[in-house]
Amino acid sequence: MFSKTLTSGGELRPLEPWRAEEFAAHIDRAREHIRPWVGPSFVTTDVDGARATLGRYADRAARDGAGIYGIWDDGVLVGGVMFVEFSTGTRSFEVGCWLEPGAEGKGHITGAVRELLAYALEERGMHRAEWRCRSDNDRSSAVARRLGMTLDGVLREAWPVGGVFYDKQVWSLLAGEFTA
């Protein structure tokens, strides 16, 4: 099985549909914390929803279009990273993340996203990485900065949550700018 130890001490592994129960339990712990920052279909409420979410990513990964990876800390799933989009045609992709509040501040996300960037840019020959986050998500913007990304711009009121529209930042990193 693929497993990568992160510099933070966490472990990065594929998050596959057979892990639906573990993913559902994790989302129960993280739900209210991540709800404002991720898409509504990601914040599942039961094992069937968790299986459906992981199944969508598995289907897209099989077509070379996405992928989702969990982060385990001391054997407990605490968050993860994903290729939200992955287009070999345009050689561009978008990375995303989520994390339980108790796992914040350890460097798990920065290390895990750096692994995805290395894989996509170096091994797969992709050209452009994107990171999108709400403009008021300071932690997410800080990750983009630590990874050496450039703020390309802000999409005004492009992130609806609970009937309120928030601005969305678009960050990018080009292959020639990446240092593993």
* Annotated domain spans of the chain: 4-100+107-177
The model's pLDDT over 33-78, given as tens digits with 9 standing for 90+, comes to: 888 788 777 788 899 999 999 999 999 999 988 899 999 999 999 9
Q: Who has greater pLDDT, 162 or 135? A: 135
The model's pLDDT over 82-116, given as tens digits with 9 standing for 90+, comes to: 999 999 999 999 999 999 999 999 999 999 999 99
For 39-43, which contacts have Cβ atoms below 8 Å and span 24 or more sequence positions? 42/98
- Is 0.75 surpassed by the pTM of this model? yes
- Find tokens 């990876």 and name the residue: 69
Alpha carbons 172 and 151: distance in angstroms, whole number: 7
- On average, the pLDDT of the chain sits at 93
Asked whether 120 and 91 are in contact (CB, 8 A), the reply is no
CATH class of residue range 4-100+107-177? alpha beta
19: pLDDT strictly greater than 80: yes
